[in-house]
Every structure is written in structure tokens, then in C-alpha cells.
Structure 1
């Protein structure tokens, strides 16, 4: 995650430099009861001995909906599907800190071996071939005439509150369009006015969707894997629309909206990377099943 955030934690280089940190991003799809029990039993700072029959997965304990200590996070389930395809046992090495710190504090220190859900090509790690592609979405109420698909839609200039993640492409574009100040006090109220400067501060994705549901905001802009679960579970019908990848700042600089997702390993671990790439091929049907169940809209790889 090396440009302006993927929200679930998609930080740009400037934000990472300020933080001095590195990012990341049960009986359920892709998770057996045994795997979930194993996951919840691992201490946060344990360094299990290397075992060719085990896949040590770096994961945040409390990064819903992507990673949760009960093993039901989207990326937890994908991690188990990957381990199964590699014929290894999934062993989660949990962090109490947000996922943005996983590379620096866990992967680089050899406390674990893979991170699920980083942007393809992240320069701090070696990344697998992408296993899915998605992007940022507009979340709106289905009963509103706001079937917005692009940041170039003129209706965006007339709406009320728009919820965006701090450091995200949405925040960048709101600032460029001169609409950020109208939303700033509102956005900071969602994190109890905790500053996002030099520290990790983010609006909970469920809160972002909830603000649309209760009418406090007309639009939420989030990375699809962060918000899809909550939009799908909402009892108020919602519209979730992938944003066209045509956004640009007023100076013409492109602001990307769509990203490939990969599994990350340490930069020098070529053998593990090759094994992960091979396993992702056989795990593809299970991973797509997990993503579909989550409600994540998918794009063709390489688009």
C-alpha cells in the first residue's frame, strides 16, 4: 500500500513517513473450526519456529472487516484458503496494533511469513501475482437519486456530507475540488476530533456506511473490501458502485481508484513467493467464493 491509502489502510508515502510505520490492509467460508481456534490461540508477539507444514500469517487483531482475532475477517479467510492450497496449517501471528505496522514490526522481523491484502508492487516487500482486483466505491442509499459512478459527476458538487477515509484518494479529490473544508469538521467528529496528523487515525468502515444509512451523509467513499460487508448487511437498501478510474486533480494528475491485491512476503524470500504464486492458482475458486460472499465487486485482473 504505497500511495494514498487503500483504506483499510492505504497510506501514501508521505503519511507513512510521518508515522514512521509500515502498512499492511470459525465456521465460515475458507475457515475451519480448527483453523479459527489455532488463530485465536496465537500470542501477539510469538515467533513460532519455522515449520514447512505451517504458514505463519501476519494479521491485526482488530481491523474489521479485514482482520479479526476470531478469524472471520475477509483477509483471514483468504489466508486460510491460501494455506490450505499450500497444504499447510494456517497459523496467525496477531498484532494488537493497526495493520499499517505489520511489515515493519512483524514481517521484517521474521515473526511471520506472509501478509494478505497488500497492493501489488508494494516496494517494501515482494508481492505475489495479484489474486483479485477491485477499487474504491460510492455507497449511497438506494432510495436516493445518487447513482454516482465517477468523481466527474456534477452532482457531487451539490450533495451534503461525503464520508471519506483520511489519506484516501477521496480526501485528495475533495481537497482539490475545494469541498474538503465543508466536510472536515464533520469527518473529525466521527473520530472524536482525534488528529490524523503524525498518528494513525481512521474512521471505522462500519461507521462510514452507517452515516449513509442514518442520513448524516449522502455518500460514503471507501475501498470496496472495507465497506462491502456493511453495505450488504444493511437493513436499509444501499447502492455500492465501483468508481470509474477516470479521476484526476485539477493539474491533470491521475488519482487512481482501482488496485490489484497480492500476498506479500519478505523481499528475499523467493522460494516462498514461488510457492504462494502456485497456491493462488489452485485457491482461486475458494478466494472468489469468499469475495463474492463478502459482496466485494471484482474487476478483471490487468484492467
Structure 2
């Protein structure tokens, strides 16, 4: 599952750090059988969130991302003050934020990542194909479609769909965009959308939340197709929860209850940002079915 996290850029952090954190967390967990959150949290009266200061649509230091909005929702439900600890989501993000006890939760964390303990998922989405409306590629549903042969397709290097594209014979004409970037000055997603608008590529493949957000901002809007029908290469659908320290079992249980009790409001925030939500049968979740769990 490691590939699921690479879209957030901090997954390549050193596994040795994760192992140390897990070991430390296990020791602390044994001392907190009472359910007392004051043992686990920096300040039980404050929801302290780890986030990137410039990584839309997820978060920014202006509070404009959907993870900012989800944090606001959770703080309201918990009747806590909300504070963010901002740090660029590159190698060392987990260690410098959650692992250093500067904050208590990462709002978006892929299931299966070993750098932190995941909550139950609060959404399920997929990498998606982006194309212009009426281009003849806007009804393509899989990278195996023959209509993509010979086309120039953008893909972020090192992400899972690159494997699917290679298997489908699409890499010869592909345009790669860098995975590891400084978000203060660059955005691979914005560069891909710009190239698509200018006709320098015929289509692009992006992680679902980015695809939906930037396609909606384009003029005219672009068509987004979640890639749920792949039969070769890795599956491109992932569940996303939240990340907490391995020792923080009671905090994890409280977040799980919040997710369960507020799934409808969570889905509405995600849909407002264009996130292509999927149910467990890979069917799209829209406003009419927004109360469903991922």
C-alpha cells in the first residue's frame, strides 16, 4: 500500500523513524488503560492538527483546504479550540509533527501506511483520468482503452498509475511530472492542468482529490473519470483515514466515533471540493447518497 501515500510526498520518510515511533508508542500505550485522553493528547482542550501550509486542495495556512474544513467540523463537534501545526509534507513530515508531539492528528492518511496509526477511513477515492469535454477521451474509463494508444498522457512520476500505463504501453509518449516538489513554489497538478488546457498533453492522470479540484477550476471545466476498472497493474482505489500516534488508542477511538457520527457532513465537504467519492462497490457517491460511509 506504500504507493497510496506517495501522492502526499511524506511517505518516503525513513522507515527507521517509523520503527522507533512504533516502539515508543507501544510503551506509552501500556500506561493508558483508563481512557484518559490527557495522557495521549498535547492539550485535551485543543484539537491540534498537523498540516501542510501550501497543499491545496488538502490544506493551506489560510484554512482553505478540505482538511482545514474537516478539522473545523471536528473541533466544533468536540467543542475544542482548533490549532494547526504547519510543516511541508516532504520527507520527515510525520517525525517533525505527529512524532514530535507538536500536534495530535494528520487529517488525511492512507490505510496501510506504517508511519502512523490510521483511523477508520472517512473516504474512498481513486486516481482519475482528466480530459477535455468532447475530446473523445472523456468517456474512457480505463488506461487499457485502445483510444489512449499514441496519446500524450501526463502522469506524476513514481505514482501507482505509472505502472498501469507501462503495462498498457502508454509510457513512450507520456509526459512525467515531478513527485517531490517544493509546494511553496511549484505544483505538478497545476502544471499538468495547464499543459492539458494548452493541448501539450491529451489527457492526464492525477490522484482523485487533486483531479476533481483542479478540473473544476479549469475554464472550461475538465472531465474527471475515476480509474476503477483497471485489470492490470495495481488497483488505483484507496481508503483514506486520519493518522495518530501508535500509542493513542483512546484518541483513535474517539476519532472513529466522530467519523461514524458525521459521515454525511464529511462527505458534503469533500464533494464541495470536487473529490470523486466512491462506495465499496466503486460506485460514485453524489449529494443524494452523501450520508453513506466509504
State if a TM-score over 0.5 links the two structures: yes
Report the Cα offset of residue 240 of structure 1: 0.5
Corresponding residue number in structure 1 for 2:205: 221
Report the Cα offset of residue 176 of structure 1: 3.5
SS at match of 1:259: strand
Aligned residue runs from structure 1 range 40-51, under 5 A: 50-51=42-43
SS at match of 1:107: coil
SS at match of 1:3: helix
Corresponding residue number in structure 2 for 1:174: 165
Checking the alignment, whether the CA contact within 8 Å between 1:81 and 1:283 is kept in structure 2 is no
Runs of 4+ in 1 over 6 A off after TM superposition: 19-22
Corresponding residue number in structure 1 for 2:286: none
Aligned residue runs from structure 1 range 1-303, under 5 A: 2-3=2-3, 5-9=5-9, 11=11, 15-16=12-13, 50-95=42-87, 97-99=88-90, 101-146=92-137, 147-159=139-151, 161-183=152-174, 186-187=175-176, 204-249=188-233, 255-301=234-280
Moved more, 238-247 or 214-223: 238-247
TM-score by length of 1: 0.76
Q: How many residue pairs were aligned?
A: 256
Checking the alignment, whether the CA contact within 8 Å between 1:65 and 1:74 is kept in structure 2 is yes
SS at match of 2:176: helix
Runs of 5+ in structure 2 lacking a partner?
19-40, 283-294
Distance 1:241 1:302, change over 3 A: closer
RMSD: 2.6
In 2, distance between residues paired with 1:68 and 1:203?
A: 13
In 1, distance between residues paired with 2:230 and 2:170?
A: 19
In 1, distance between residues paired with 2:99 and 2:61?
A: 21
Report the Cα offset of residue 244 of structure 1: 1.9
Distance 1:85 1:280, change over 3 A: farther
Checking the alignment, whether the CA contact within 8 Å between 2:48 and 2:82 is kept in structure 1 is yes
Distance 1:297 1:220, change over 3 A: same
In 2, distance between residues paired with 1:177 and 1:216?
A: 21
SS at match of 2:7: coil
SS at match of 2:220: coil
TM-score by length of 2: 0.78
SS at match of 1:240: strand
Checking the alignment, whether the CA contact within 8 Å between 1:165 and 1:203 is kept in structure 2 is no
In 2, distance between residues paired with 1:231 and 1:3?
A: 23
Runs of 5+ in structure 1 lacking a partner?
23-48, 250-254
Distance 1:175 1:276, change over 3 A: same
